[in-house]
Every structure is written in C-alpha cells, then in structure tokens.
Structure 1
C-alpha cells in the first residue's frame, strides 16, 4: 500500500465510499445527498492543507484530508479527517493514513494535532487514535445525531507534536 497526494484523478474512486460512509450516518456530520462536486469541495483540501489517498494495485482504499485546524492564530495546530472504503476495512488502511498524517503535520511544523469530532461510538477509530498517541480531551454529549443510536457524544482528541 502506498500513501500518495490525492489528485482530481483519484476523486472518482473516493466519492463512492465517501457517499456511502456519509449516508450510513454513523461517523460524519456532512450533509446527506451531496453530489460529487459538493463532496469534492469538502474533502479535497487546498494548500496549506492536502488530501492523501492509500492506494494498492491502482485502487484507492482510503483517504485523509489534513491542514490547519483554524486560520490565523490557530494555524499552528493541525487537524485531519479520514475515510476508509468499507470494503478495505481491517487491512491497516486507517493506521497507515493516521501515521502518514501525523508525520506530515510534524514535518510541516505544526505543534499539535486536534480532531474536533470523533464520534464516541466509532470505537475502532477512537482506539486507533489513542494507539497513535491522541488523548480524549473532552466529549460533547449528544453532539452527533447517529443514524441508529440517536444522540451520541463527539470526542475532541489531541496530540502534542
């Protein structure tokens, strides 16, 4: 598996799993029913951020977007978001993207990385981020409307780089 900078040529492979994950209503608060163009505007970062893809055999298995968490005086803290094609789950794609993003943020000079909204019921992601050095700083109760579990919390997670 290779981690590459995403280009517009990767988007046709990203969008189907992006749409599937958003429609499932379990991990992302993006609006439902986004068309490809609207979704690409949300996912494909522009500098100083970037979007990466995990690719194996020419197939995009997952993607991550990263960049400054806030503009201006908050731009020294990075953030990121991740999506793994459900058909590629359990193959280490999320971990590879997570390691890549942390290394990218360190190399880019960020002093920390903050995840603003990790759904507390997404235990696989929570465990992965903790294994990669992130801590749960707080949980906002009922901040996410889960498709099957109703209102659940969102963790704010952080790692000093």
Structure 2
C-alpha cells in the first residue's frame, strides 16, 4: 500500500537515493549531472517548497515537490517536480503522486498547475501528464541538451484546477 506524506529530515538519505541516479543520467531534469547531494537536497527542499514522499511501508518509492510557479501575480499557479525510484517505475507511483499533488494544490487554493520544462523525449512522463489532464501549451525548441539525443525540445504543460 502506497502512502504519500510530507517528507521529514529523516528522509534525506532516501531522497538522495532516488534523486542521484536521475540527476546523474541527465535525461529528465536540468540539474547539472555533477550536482552534489547537499545541493540537490537544498534545491528539492528549498524554502517555500513542500516536499512529499511516496512510501510503501518499507522504503520510499518516489518524491515530489509542490510550490507556486511564480511569485506575486503568478502565485495562484502551482508547479511540481516528480522523481520515482528507478526500480519503481511503471508501478503507478508517479500517477499517485500527480493525483495527490493536484488534490493538494486544489485544497491550497491554487487555480492551475504548470510544468515549465518537461523534456519532450521523456515519452513516459508526457503520456502520463497528458493522461492526467495536462495540455501542452508551449514547445521550447532545442531547449534541453540531452546526453543521448542532443538538443531536445522542452514542453510547457498546463492544467486548470
């Protein structure tokens, strides 16, 4: 059974175990591939970010952060980032985290959610976000340097809440 809960400082090691392989691969996030543990956790747990973890009772299978996409006049739009443990992909963890984040954002009064930089070659994520009701509202040609595919488009995806 999957439980999604706020992260605690005791989760830091498990968060890094999820984050490090994703960051090192450099295929889905714009973190520099040599980002340190301290820098990655500081970014993921930044002030104003709410960090959640997906826990199966034995270990963490995923994490997401929720925060305003912008300050001031744009603060009514939420933004999220999601990471799933490599051996937990395809098990519904990201879908559960996305559903949780949409519910949490609605409950907190956000009016929309926007993903600013979805790597177009991340077909699994694009399919999931589309299936969760997001629309691609923009395409940034060649905005991401993928380690395998070279310059790859990034998508801006949006959903009204």
Q: 1:123 to 1:52 in 2, by over 3 A?
A: same
Q: 1:55 corresponds to which residue?
A: 55
Match of 2:11 in 1: 10
1:46 Cα deviation from its structure 2 partner: 3.0
Is the contact made by 1:45 and 1:51 (CA closer than 8 Å) also made in structure 2?
A: no
Shift of 1:119: 0.3
Residue 75 of structure 2 aligns with which residue?
Answer: 75
Structure 1 residues not aligned, in runs of 5+:
none
Counting matched residue pairs gives 160
- Normalising by structure 1, we get a TM-score of 0.96
2:141 aligns with 141
Using the alignment, how far apart are the partners of 2:157 and 2:19 within structure 1? 22
Partner residue of 1:31?
A: 32
Aligned residue in 2 for 1:112: 112
Distance in 2, Cα, partners of 1:45 & 1:92: 26
Within 2, Cα distance between the matches of 1:138 and 1:116?
9
Aligned twin of 1:20 = 21
In structure 2, stretches of 5+ residues that fail to align are none
Secondary structure at 1:19 match in 2: helix
**Cα drift, residue 94 of structure 1:** 0.3
**Whole-angstrom distance in 2 between the partners of 1:53 and 1:26:** 22
Once the two structures are TM-superposed, the CA of residue 149 in structure 1 deviates from its matched residue by 0.3
> What is the rounded CA distance, in whole Å, between the counterparts of 2:150 and 2:37 in structure 1?
27
CA contact (8 A) 2:26 2:32 kept: no
